[in-house]
Structure 1
Amino acid sequence: GHITANRSHTPLIAHYYRIPDSNIIAVQETPLLSFLSEKSEILRFSATLIVISAALVLCLTMYLHRILTRPINTISSYIKNVSKGDFTGSLTLKNNDEFQTIADSINKMEREIRELMEAQKQESEIKKELEFRVLQNQINPHFLYNTLNTIKWMASLQHADTIRDMTAALGRLLQNISKGSDKISIYEEMSLLDDYVLIQDIRYDGRLNVRYHIGDPEITQALILKFLFQPIVENAIFHGIEPKGDGSGTIDIYLNQQDKSIYIHIVDNGIGMTPEQIEQLLNPEESSQNRRGLNGIGISNINQRIKMTYGQEYGISISSKPGAYTDVLICIPYERSTSL
């Protein structure tokens, strides 16, 4: 502690301290005026130090605020412009530091967004062009369909039943070609095939016979890719039955369901094929002579359609015996329409 006292009329302040583990007390005397003067100096020094420290902290804060806030504001302003669709600039900061790394990342993101927008724009233009072509191509089937209706009407007036039936069947085929749906029921697919077979049967003077063998009638309500049967039956007629010479032949179509898959066998009693011919049919060269079916759609194209739609585990396989038969097997998943 401390006490105040007077020695020879001089005010003093005495500080005392007891030394631990002893009975000795240390005492230091200081003139009171000197003590108060030193205390005042210490207080002034402390105040000065506090003011200088506060000033330094303020300056440091302002400096950090300037070097941190300015690039952040620049980046923020640039991002706002990008969000408004302005991709004309390139973000560059004066200092090559962490903020420049962020700026480089933003520039990269901007380039990727610009490239993506350009790709989407091109895709949109291509889509519009394709839609226009589809609409334009639909004009031809509708025109032919209307023309065939006129021919059918004239054939009815002249009692030309064969011409009437053929034009009616062809009209229904063209009408279904113009429809945009990719999948139809097996029953509808069978109806389309019946129209095609009717036309060919007239051509072959009734010597062509197509028979259906359906395991469960419910299978006809399952969905199938449109015009899946026709190219295969056409291939069977022109490359299996017709080469026999007399134009007569039978095509048997078997429909069965096993587990969650549908198996369709299209079997003709034509001249058959060799393994090399089967390989060429499933993997044809890029030439017109290898294209089969409606609008040049070949069996290999149908096989690709099936795999692209349902997966690689589905598709077409062919077995044949030269001079006896050809069996085309179609495997697709069982799928029912929600409206059925």
Structure 2
Amino acid sequence: MQTIGNVGWKLVGVSYMDEVMVTSETLNRSLPKLLLALALIVIVLSSVVSRRISRPIRQLEMSMKSVERGDFDKLASSEGPLEVKHLADRFNMMIGTIKLLMKQIVSEQESKRKYELEALQAQINPHFLYNTLNTVVRMVGMNRNADVVTTITSLSKLFRISLSKGNAIISLEDELEHARNYLVIQNIRFKNKFTYSIEADEQVSSCSTLKLIVQPLIENAIVHGIEPSVDEGHISIKARLDGADVVIEVSDNGLGMTEERLNEVRAGNVKSAKGSGVGVMNVQERIRLYYGAEYGLSFESELEEGTTVSIRFPARRIEQEGRVADDE
């Protein structure tokens, strides 16, 4: 009941007890359903918002894992909340910077490898020309004109191949021709103390190779195997294909090595009292530097029987070598 002030009327509201009870019961029944509906709405909204935030973060995490595996091409997606977008953009900028730095490092390493190859190449037998010219002078004094002509001709061919227009890669045919001219000169110099033979499978002649990898091994065979021996020596050079690789074997029937010395050489200690072993180490380093650590030299030797040094590197044609160089 309520009194209306100005007119003095009484306003009376009447409610039946049964209706109040029915309304209360209906409200009690509806309230849990309403709360459940509100909870479902909250859960759905939370899930949507969570997915919108977490999905870009998961994508960013996947991009980071790809980078850990070495895949720098998968960039983070610039979606989601503003903070996540900024984080993804910064991550992508970081990846771009890393890729640029990696390209620079590869370029620098390639230049370094080229300079190292050139430096190693320059170390090959700087005394050889001096010794050969001395031999020529002595032969001129003894009127051995035919030997002088042969020596000078072989020397000119040898240096023509050595220069090879500044190319570090030549055909295996040219490399074996270079070895043949070297053997001619050394055979004259050592007064026919040894014979030699060169054999090559037809398939390997057009394969490419680093230049001047056979000649240091021939020199090593002469100095350490043939020259100290009292018997006439023989040097054999064979080139063949072995699967996807080229194998060149340089053998001599000289003094050979003891088992202990052979193990030292296989372990990389090729230095000796007579000669520094720079030539053999040079060949090993150049092959591994250019082709990879799985390639290089292997040694077999038996005392008083002789030594065989094998060179192994991948079989590539000259045109393939050009494409490889372009790719690098």
More strand by percentage: 1
User: What is aligned with 2:185?
Assistant: 199
Q: Within 5 Å, give how 1:221-300 maps onto structure 2.
A: 221-244=206-229, 246=230, 248-257=232-241, 261-285=245-269, 292=277, 294=279, 297-298=282-283, 300=284
Cα distance change on mapping 1:317 and 1:259 into 2, 3 Å: same
Give the drift of 1:107: 2.3
CA distance in 1, matches of 2:177, 2:212: 11
CA distance in 2, matches of 1:140, 1:315: 18
Q: TM-score, normalised by structure 2?
A: 0.52
User: Of 77, 82, 86, which aligns to 1:99?
Assistant: 82
CA distance in 2, matches of 1:273, 1:280: 10
Give the drift of 1:332: 4.5
Are the aligned partners of 1:242 and 1:248 in contact in 2 as well (CA < 8 Å)? no
Q: Within 5 Å, give how 1:1-340 maps onto structure 2.
A: 98-118=81-101, 120-121=103-104, 161=145, 162-179=147-164, 180-214=166-200, 216-244=201-229, 246=230, 248-257=232-241, 261-285=245-269, 292=277, 294=279, 297-298=282-283, 300-301=284-285, 304=288, 308=292, 312=294, 315-337=296-318
Cα distance change on mapping 1:336 and 1:286 into 2, 3 Å: closer
Cα distance change on mapping 1:167 and 1:130 into 2, 3 Å: farther
CA distance in 2, matches of 1:316, 1:129: 23
User: What is aligned with 2:12?
Assistant: none
Misfit runs of 4+, over 6 Å: 125-141, 157-160, 286-290
Give the drift of 1:262: 4.5
Amino acid at match of 2:264: Q
Give the drift of 1:240: 1.3
Q: Whose relative contact order is higher, 1 or 2, with alpha carbons under 8 Å and at least 6 apart? A: 2
Give the drift of 1:285: 4.5
Percent identity over the alignment is 22
Give the drift of 1:168: 4.3
Secondary structure at the aligned position of 1:221 is classed as: coil
CA distance in 2, matches of 1:126, 1:333: 21
CA RMSD of aligned residues (A): 4.9
Q: TM-score, normalised by structure 1?
A: 0.50
Are the aligned partners of 1:319 and 1:327 in contact in 2 as well (CA < 8 Å)? yes
User: What is aligned with 2:24?
Assistant: none
Cα distance change on mapping 1:257 and 1:138 into 2, 3 Å: closer
Cα distance change on mapping 1:195 and 1:318 into 2, 3 Å: same
User: What is aligned with 1:39?
Assistant: none
Higher gyration radius (CA): 1
User: What is aligned with 1:20?
Assistant: none
Cα distance change on mapping 1:190 and 1:140 into 2, 3 Å: closer
Amino acid at match of 1:103: H
Offset from partner CA, 1:151-179 (integer Å, 9 cap, x none): 9xx99x99874455444434443443333
Cα distance change on mapping 1:138 and 1:251 into 2, 3 Å: closer
CA distance in 2, matches of 1:190, 1:131: 23
Offset from partner CA, 1:158-217 (integer Å, 9 cap, x none): 987445544443444344333344443332111100122123223212223211245x44
Amino acid at match of 1:297: N
Amino acid at match of 1:108: F
Provide the aligned length of Structure 1 versus Structure 2. Answer: 233
Amino acid at match of 1:265: E
Amino acid at match of 1:100: E
Are the aligned partners of 1:241 and 1:271 in contact in 2 as well (CA < 8 Å)? yes
Amino acid at match of 1:329: S
Amino acid at match of 1:227: L
Secondary structure at the aligned position of 2:254 is classed as: coil
CA distance in 2, matches of 1:133, 1:307: 14
Secondary structure at the aligned position of 1:243 is classed as: coil
CA distance in 2, matches of 1:333, 1:262: 6
CA distance in 1, matches of 2:239, 2:270: 32
